[in-house]
Amino acid sequence: MLRTASMIMIAGLLAATATPSAAESRKKPAKPVPAPLIAQACSGCHGQLGQGLKGTPRLSGYEKDAFARVWSEFRDNQRPAATIMPRIARGYSDTEVAVLANYFSSIRR
């Protein structure tokens, strides 16, 4: 399976090596949100593109507002079934959470 990051780079390679037709140049792909460095930590358990694995939830395609809401629920101990996320959530500012939410919501499921 091609990962989004690879596809971004492959898109760049194709753009450089082939002249797109008029039709192709009209079909601009949705602009991917750049991967912020702080999202790298999430990949430690949720997979490199937040796809989730072995029971860790999928983050890719997570709706932006829901991501921020769930994060604040972790932070405020309002999710009784939580295990390690409350301890993580308290380490990130609202601005940083917004960056993560923006990034993961932009990755296609």
Partner 1 sequence: MSDISRRNFGKFAIAGLSTLAAPSILQAKSGARLVIIGGGFGGASAARFARTNFPHIDVTVIEPQLTFVTCPYGNLLLAGARTLSDITHPYGVLKRRGVIFIHDWADAIEPDKKLVKLRSGKTVAYDKLIVSPGIGIKWGALPGYDQAAAQIFPHAWVPERGEQVLLLRKQLEALPDGGVVGFAIPGNPFRCPPGPYERISLVANYLKKHKPRAKILALDAKDAFSKQGLFQDAWNELYPGLIEWIPGSKDGKVVSIDTKEKVFQTEFGTRHKIDVGNVIPPQSAAKIAIDAGLTNETGFVPVNPYTFEATKAKDIHVIGDANIAGPMPKSGFIANSTSKQAVASAIALLEGREAPKDPIYFNTCYSHVGDDYGISVVGVFRPSEKGFVETPNSGGVSPRGPLAEKKTQRKLEAQYADAWYASITKDAFG
Residue 12 makes contact with partner 1 by CB under 8 A: yes
The DSSP line for 41-87 is: GTHHHH-TTS---TTPPP-TT--HHHHHHHHHHHHTT--TT-SSHHH
64-75 and 94-106 helices cross at what angle (nearest 10)? 140
Q: Is the CB of residue 4 less than 8 Å from the CB of residue 107?
A: yes
Residue 53 makes contact with partner 1 by CB under 8 A: yes
Number of residues engaging partner 1 in binding (CB under 8 A): 37
Residue 45 makes contact with partner 1 by CB under 8 A: yes
Residue 41 makes contact with partner 1 by CB under 8 A: yes
Q: Within positions 60 to 79, which residues make up the interface with partner 1, using CB under 8 A?
A: none
Provide the binding-site residues for partner 1, judged by CB under 8 A. 5, 8-9, 11-13, 15-17, 32, 34-38, 40-41, 43-48, 53-56, 81, 83-84, 87-92, 96
